[in-house]
């Protein structure tokens, strides 16, 4: 029963996937191949820096089953994405106010057994519902690591994707797998490097990836755009442990300035 309803809904969603959105809300999905590279740290702090520039931001913790964005915002969420999916709360109720002005969070839930909702589109539906509110300037979707069907679904509905990576060979191997997949039907991937002190290193590695993509004859129209780097910083790990945002606590830190520069370039590229 649930499956047949899901199949019908899935078809409808596919039909509407490519339709022009009229909302002012931009969508940015943050992803990576490898885990632990700094996606959630970037997402939370980018949200704060965007809000301090006057944007109204919603974050969706789309790391199905391993949610941790509420930790970064030091919140004990009353409702989670799953309450919304299960129809227990409205979209306004599930968009929780964070301690930071103009940032709302749709929290995830750690340890959630999502086999009840085997269709990934059920989760991604919330993105369109938030965009339809036309209330937020930007929605940041923090995905989990890897390329499971949930991550793929959130990527498939997003026209702005930011990959976070490190220079670690295994992270770069996973990143290339992501590039390969996205090149099939996306126009571009924005790329930033974490734990990388030297801006030029990110640029050089990005160019190598682009050359590899050319050599392997991936879609010519697909662009990988390097948008900056963040160094390793003790302030980032300490604030993370203390459930605080480094960009708020250390406004003049190099890492905050590096993330600001990433946002400058991101805002020029976002569609």
Chain positions contacting ligand ATP, by CB under 6 A? 32, 35-41, 63, 144-145, 194-195, 230, 232-233, 236-237, 240
Between 158 and 183, CB nearer to Mg ion? 158
Shortest approach of Mg ion to residue 123 CB, angstroms? 16
Min dist. Cβ of residue 61 to Mg ion (A): 8
Nearest CA among 39, 36, 33 for reference residue 171 = 33
Annotated binding site: 34-41
Q: State the binding partner of 36 from Mg ion, ligand ATP, none, CB within 5 to 8 A by kind.
A: ligand ATP
Rounded distance between C-alpha atoms, residue 237 and residue 235, angstroms: 6
Residue nearer to Mg ion on the CB measure, 39 or 117: 39
**Which of the choices ligand ATP, Mg ion, none does residue 38 contact, using the CB cut-off of 5 to 8 A by kind?**
ligand ATP
Give the bridge partners for 225, in sequence order: 190
Which residue's beta carbon is nearest to the bound Mg ion?
A: 40
**CB of 54: closest distance to Mg ion in angstroms?**
26
What angle do the packed helices 254-269 and 39-52 form, to 10 degrees? 80
Task: Give the nearer residue to ligand ATP in terms of CB position, either 9 or 177.
Answer: 177
Residue closer to ligand ATP, measured from CB, 7 or 232: 232
Using the minimum distance from each CB to Mg ion, give the nearer residue, 44 or 222. Answer: 44
145 binds, among Mg ion, ligand ATP, none (CB under 5 to 8 A by kind): ligand ATP
Per the annotation, where are the binding residues for ATP? 34-41
Q: Which residues have CB under 8 Å from 244's CB, separation 6+?
A: 74
Q: Which of 12, 103, 121 is closest to 62 using CA atoms?
A: 121
For Mg ion, the binding residues (CB under 5 A) are 39-40
Do 126 and 104 touch, CB atoms closer than 8 A? no
| Residue 232 binds: one of ligand ATP, Mg ion, none (C-beta under 5 to 8 A by kind) | ligand ATP
Helices 2-17 and 121-133 pack at an angle, to 10 degrees, of 50
Question: Pairing relation of β-strands 188-194 and 138-143?
Answer: unpaired
Residue 253 interacts with, from Mg ion, ligand ATP, none (CB under 5-8 Å by kind): none
Min separation Cβ 5 and ligand ATP, Å: 31
Cβ nearer to Mg ion, comparing 44 with 213: 44
Q: What is the DSSP letter of 232?
A: -
Instruction: Count CA atoms within 13 Å of residue 241 on its CB side.
Output: 5
Interacting partner of 9 out of Mg ion, ligand ATP, none (Cβ under 5 to 8 A depending on kind):
none
Question: Least distance (Å) from Mg ion to the CB of residue 181?
Answer: 20
Which spans in the chain are helix H? Answer: 2-17, 39-52, 69-72, 81-85, 91-94, 121-133, 149-156, 169-182, 199-215, 234-241, 246-249, 254-269
By Cβ distance, which residue is nearest to ligand ATP?
240
């Amino acid at each position: 029963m649930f499956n047949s309803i899901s199949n019908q809904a899935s078809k409808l969603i596919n039909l509407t996937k490519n339709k022009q959105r009229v909302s002012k809300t931009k969508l940015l999905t943050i992803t990576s191949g490898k885990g632990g590279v700094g996606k959630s740290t970037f997402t939370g702090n980018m949200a704060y820096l965007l809000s301090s520039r006057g944007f109204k931001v919603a974050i969706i913790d789309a790391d199905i089953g391993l949610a941790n964005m509420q930790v970064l915002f030091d919140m004990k969420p009353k409702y989670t994405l799953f309450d919304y999916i299960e129809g227990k709360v409205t979209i306004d109720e599930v968009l929780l106010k964070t301690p930071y002005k103009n940032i709302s969070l749709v929290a995830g839930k750690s340890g959630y057994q999502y086999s009840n909702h085997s269709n990934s589109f059920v989760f991604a539906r919330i993105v369109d519902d938030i965009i339809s509110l036309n209330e937020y300037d930007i929605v940041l979707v923090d995905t989990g690591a890897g390329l499971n069907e949930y991550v793929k679904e959130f990527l498939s509905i997003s026209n702005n994707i930011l990959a976070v990576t490190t220079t670690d060979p295994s992270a770069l191997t996973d990143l290339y797998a992501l590039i390969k997949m996205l090149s099939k039907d996306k126009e571009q991937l924005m790329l930033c490097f974490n734990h990388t002190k030297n801006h030029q290193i990110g640029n050089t590695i990005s160019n190598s990836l682009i050359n590899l993509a050319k050599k392997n004859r991936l879609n010519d129209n697909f662009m990988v755009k390097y948008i900056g780097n963040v160094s390793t910083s003790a302030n980032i790990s300490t604030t993370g442990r203390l459930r605080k945002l480094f960009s708020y606590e250390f406004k003049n830190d190099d890492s905050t300035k590096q993330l600001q520069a990433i946002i400058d370039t991101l805002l020029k590229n976002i569609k």
